Chain A
Amino acid sequence: SQKIEQNSEALNIQEGKTATLTCNYTNYSPAYLQWYRQDPGRGPVFLLLIRENEKEKRKERLKVTFDTTLKQSLFHITASQPADSATYLCALDPVEDAGGTSYGKLTFGQGTILTVHP
């Protein structure tokens, strides 16, 4: 069966360090992978999307890699700040048909709670 796992439930780091979160999947052929941030009591907020033919994507202090051979994505936050503390979710959406159509039925990992200590 299809499965998505994020490497740990919680990650604690010191301010200024780089946070690295892992998302592994099995029995999937995702067209793309997305990362979202979720604060307590709020809906997820989109951060980055990386397609299967891309190796790396960057946005400000954020970087995502996508290795379809290892079936893994890494999400990095450099120069982390206490304001980065939140739950980070990875989400997959497989290509549904030969035409490359995706219907947006995202499957999410369970999330990693990141806490950045001052």
Chain B
Amino acid sequence: DTGVSQDPRHKITKRGQNVTFRCDPISEHNRLYWYRQTLGQGPEFLTYFQNEAQLEKSRLLSDRFSAERPKGSFSTLEIQRTEQGDSAMYLCASTPRSSLLGETQYFGPGTRLLVL
């Protein structure tokens, strides 16, 4: 068990470009979450999956954002036509079980995105 991993760790892109981030959760974790964190703030929930099903998307997730979790394993988060306001740390987390009250979330190291 190597923990939650995210790739890349850093991404610099120009406004208008598309970017894709990958998250590999701890194996056999059912739930996977994406959060966004800006400087000086706590993480903000974006979306989550239970196995391969995307169950909820935050209002923060505009139409330019899409997330997938094929086969219930790794997940990708794509941002199309990036804007400077998308610059943030994108965090992925996973939990081992579903619908159990109070599950600890295991976070990855994050992908820091800078849109120029």
* Residues A43 and B42 in contact, CB atoms below 8 Å apart: no
| Interface size, A (range) | 20 to 34
B101 CB contact (under 8 Å) in A89, A95, A106:
A95
B103 to chain A, nearest CB (A): 6
Q: Find the A residue at minimum CB distance from B92.
A: A43
The B-contacting residues of A in range 69-118, CB under 8 angstroms, are 89, 91, 93, 95, 100-111
Stretch at the interface among B67-75, B76-84, B107-115: B107-115
CB distance from B12 to the nearest CB of A (A): 15
Chain B residues positioned under 8 Å from A95 (CB to CB): 101
Q: Is the CB of B102 within 8 A of A43?
A: no
Q: Is A111 in contact with B99, judged by CB distance below 8 angstroms?
A: no
| A42 touching B48, Cβ below 8 Å | no
Instruction: Kindly supply a per-residue 1/0 record for chain B positions 45-65, scoring 1 wherever the CB is within 8 Å of any chain A CB and 0 otherwise.
Output: 100100000011000000000
Q: Which residues on B sit within 8 Å (CB–CB) of A67?
A: none
Flag whether A65 is at the interface (Cβ < 8 A).
Answer: no
Docked Cα-Cα span, A32 to B102, in Å, equals: 6
B109: chain A residues at CB < 8 Å are 41-43
With A42-B110, A43-B110 in contact, do A106 and B105 touch (Cβ < 8 Å)?
yes
Task: Verify if A16 is at the interface (C-beta below 8 Å from B).
Answer: no
Distance from A46 Cβ to chain B, minimum over Cβ atoms (Å): 5
C-alpha spacing A36/B91, complex, angstroms: 14
